[in-house]
Structure 1
Amino acid sequence: MLYALILAGGKGTRLYPLSRSNNPKQFLKVVNNKSFLRNTVDRVKPIISKENIYIVTNEEYLDKIQQELPEINKENIFAEPANKETATCIGLSAVKLLKKDKDAVMIVLPSDHFIEGEKEFLDTLEQAVEIAEKRRGLVTIGVNPIWPETGYGYIEMGQRINMGIATFRVDRFTEKPNVEVAKDFLLKGTYLWNSGMFVWRADVFLREMEKYLPKMYKSLMQIYQSLGDENESEVIREQYNIIDGISVDFGIMQKTRKAYVIKSEFLWDDIGSFSALKRFLKNFRGNSVSDNVFLEQSENCSVFSKDSLIIGFGIKDLIIVDAGDVLLIMDKTKDQEVKHLFNELKEDSKLLKFL
């Protein structure tokens, strides 16, 4: 049977201070009047019943997710005791779904993407499911790069296979490159952005984990054996203390020989930085602005206001974010470093109340 697994445990620190520890990016209503998480759930409902939609998140967001998604059964929300990267949370979810259904096929979706072109998106997922079932492949969805983005990973397309939507074997995954390498990828024309969306059978994914992440696989099998027992939560916590977290890209997708990529035909954005978010703001005299912003003799700035009026006079190449209790002002070239800045702020106990 087909299941959606939505990853909703991240902190979204690259969008700090809009994204906060108690209200991370997946809960923000930035693009329309619905949160990223709500949009993600609604997007898959035409092909997956609500009973088969699952969320994996951090324990601290359980109540918030239940408020945001009241139609999703509490049992369909998998809670991690700690954040141990995507291979771990997907692996935990895979063993739980496999316990329920030995033929489970998982559509794995981040909870914080913007997608336009619902029919094309659903068509792509249905083709990915076919590859996962018939070829026992690990399928990812790639996006045609439009500019030399350094904030995304890249996928090099290999041999094309005979499918309706352009589909290829994966030659290699490359993590976030510098701008010169990204420009080369763009010119070469054989690379796609890595969207972080995946489709596979739970059993196939776990067999690849056994091959490439044997220690993690062993821990997950301990969890599998405890599922449904009264000590399930205790075993999960014990094994999470043992597990060394790693991303699914680093841990499995870069190594497996079963990887396929479908070249998407829908509009996609992960809105993982202020440079991405500015594409959804209004243009004002060559700047990108939210409401309550007035700029004079200013250029190439991105300004986000919550309640206050922000006036810029004679400024250039700045990102300004007013989140009420925190004001961020930075050079536009630094937007990929906000996560590092956030981690530095955590070291000062006096500033924790602002995180």
Structure 2
Amino acid sequence: MVKALIMAGGIGERLWPLSTKKMPKQFHAFGDSMPLIVQTMNRLRGLADRVYIITTFEQRDIFNQLIKEIELESLLVEPFGRNTAPAIALASMYFDPKDVMVVLPSDHIIRDLESFQKIIWDAIREAQTHDVLVTIGITPTSPHTGYGYIERGKAFTVKRNSFCVKKFHEKPAFELAQKYLRSGNYYWNSGMFIWRTEVFQKALEKFLPDVYNGLKRAFDGENSIEEVYKGFQSISIDYGIMEKANNALVIPSNFYWNDVGSWDSVYELEEKDTNGNVIKGKFVLHDVKNSLLFNMTERSVRISSVEDIIFVVTSEGTLLCHRGESQKVRELLK
């Protein structure tokens, strides 16, 4: 069977003060009237026989309150967050060995549904017929410095346009990102993965044996999941497995993709007025251009003679910065 796993335990710190622990970004709507998590669930229709969601105890209550269409048995809960590798590993214990896992983040915007589903189907077929760990690469449209990159190697299956992964690369400086863009062999790392459960767990046992063995003990009844989770390091699936594996594939894509990872990403995907502004809420403006303005309170905000700013005010707090600098919000919160 094909079973999807949606990762929905993050907080979305870089979208503070809208995204908070009480209401993380996947429960907000960007570029659409539906919350990001609902958009993710909808695009899996026709792809997966069953959809699971993994989240934390903190967010379980939000799901119960806001997302009524989720079956309780499909909601998997981590005792606490340990990044994506332990989360996916825990979820995999509920899958059968031959199941194909389609692992997706909960907070992405994807347009051109037909193209998205075709590429996921190609990845599913690769996972069904080969012992591979497949990821989806996003063809870059700019020298973006906020994403990791995947360098492709030799072709693997021509009819499915899949390639062996040569190397994963960290978020680059601007000059290096320009070289990646010009070469045509590099893709943005989307954080989407497809594999058979047994292939993933074999890699988990090899590269993260503490996680694999701890979860095995928990599911054999020797320890509780909370007990073994306490000993897990916080590690991403990229660092923990994908960068070390020699059976990783990448399938390039050209559909519109936005990880809504910062306020600059929100500015990119939302509609602008004639002055290039994205405006939500009550504002009185004079000579304001090319700015993102969110006012989620009932107070009137008045702004004059500014350009290229991000201004967000909620009951949680207020953020003001230049466009292009919103990646630093996480540093502000520290």
Q: Which amino acid aligns with 2:275?
A: R
Q: Secondary structure at the match of 1:26?
A: helix
Matches within 5 A, 1:88-103: 88-97=86-95, 101-103=96-98
TM-score (norm. length: structure 1):
0.89
Q: Which position in structure 2 is the counterpart of 1:290?
A: 280
Q: Which position in structure 1 is the counterpart of 2:79?
A: 81
Asked whether the 8 Å contact 1:53–1:72 carries over to 2, the reply is: no
Within 2, Cα distance between the matches of 1:66 and 1:288? 31
Q: Which runs of 4+ in 1 moved over 6 A?
A: none
Q: Which position in structure 2 is the counterpart of 1:260?
A: 249
Asked whether the 8 Å contact 1:278–1:289 carries over to 2, the reply is: no
Asked whether the 8 Å contact 2:11–2:21 carries over to 1, the reply is: yes
Q: Which position in structure 1 is the counterpart of 2:320?
A: 329
Q: Which position in structure 2 is the counterpart of 1:59?
A: 57
Within 2, Cα distance between the matches of 1:223 and 1:163? 42
Structure 1 residues 333, 121: CA separation in 2 closer, same or farther (over 3 Å shift)? closer
Instruction: Report the more deviating stretch, 58-67 or 14-23.
Output: 58-67
Q: Which position in structure 1 is the counterpart of 2:3?
A: 3
1:263 is displaced (CA, Å) by: 0.8
Asked whether the 8 Å contact 2:293–2:310 carries over to 1, the reply is: yes
Q: Which position in structure 2 is the counterpart of 1:341?
A: 332
Q: Which runs of 5+ in 2 are unaligned?
A: none
Listed one character per residue, the Cα deviations across residues 288-331 of structure 1 (whole Å, up to 9, x for unaligned) are: 33353454333442222224443321213321012244221112
Query: Is 1:306 aligned with 2:304?
Result: no
Aligned length: 332
Structure 1 residues 327, 281: CA separation in 2 closer, same or farther (over 3 Å shift)? farther
Q: Which position in structure 2 is the counterpart of 1:353?
A: none
Matches within 5 A, 1:166-245: 166-226=161-221, 235-245=224-234
1:61 is displaced (CA, Å) by: 1.2
Asked whether the 8 Å contact 1:155–1:172 carries over to 2, the reply is: yes
Instruction: Report the more deviating stretch, 163-172 or 269-278.
Output: 163-172
Q: Secondary structure at the match of 2:93?
A: helix
Instruction: Report the more deviating stretch, 157-166 or 258-267.
Output: 157-166
Listed one character per residue, the Cα deviations across residues 243-263 of structure 1 (whole Å, up to 9, x for unaligned) are: 112000011111101111111
Asked whether the 8 Å contact 2:86–2:211 carries over to 1, the reply is: yes
1:334 is displaced (CA, Å) by: 2.5
TM-score (norm. length: structure 2):
0.94
Q: Which position in structure 2 is the counterpart of 1:351?
A: none
Q: Which position in structure 2 is the counterpart of 1:24?
A: 24
Q: Which position in structure 1 is the counterpart of 2:104?
A: 109
1:64 is displaced (CA, Å) by: 1.7
Q: Which amino acid aligns with 2:65?
A: Q
Within 1, Cα distance between the matches of 2:274 and 2:304? 13
Within 2, Cα distance between the matches of 1:161 and 1:213? 26
Q: Which amino acid aligns with 1:314?
A: S
Asked whether the 8 Å contact 2:310–2:320 carries over to 1, the reply is: yes
Asked whether the 8 Å contact 1:8–1:111 carries over to 2, the reply is: yes
Aligned match for 1:153, one of 122, 143, 148: 148
Asked whether the 8 Å contact 1:282–1:290 carries over to 2, the reply is: no
Structure 1 residues 298, 70: CA separation in 2 closer, same or farther (over 3 Å shift)? closer
Q: Which position in structure 1 is the counterpart of 2:267?
A: 278
Asked whether the 8 Å contact 1:298–1:312 carries over to 2, the reply is: yes
Q: Secondary structure at the match of 2:159?
A: coil
1:165 is displaced (CA, Å) by: 4.3
Within 2, Cα distance between the matches of 1:173 and 1:294? 46
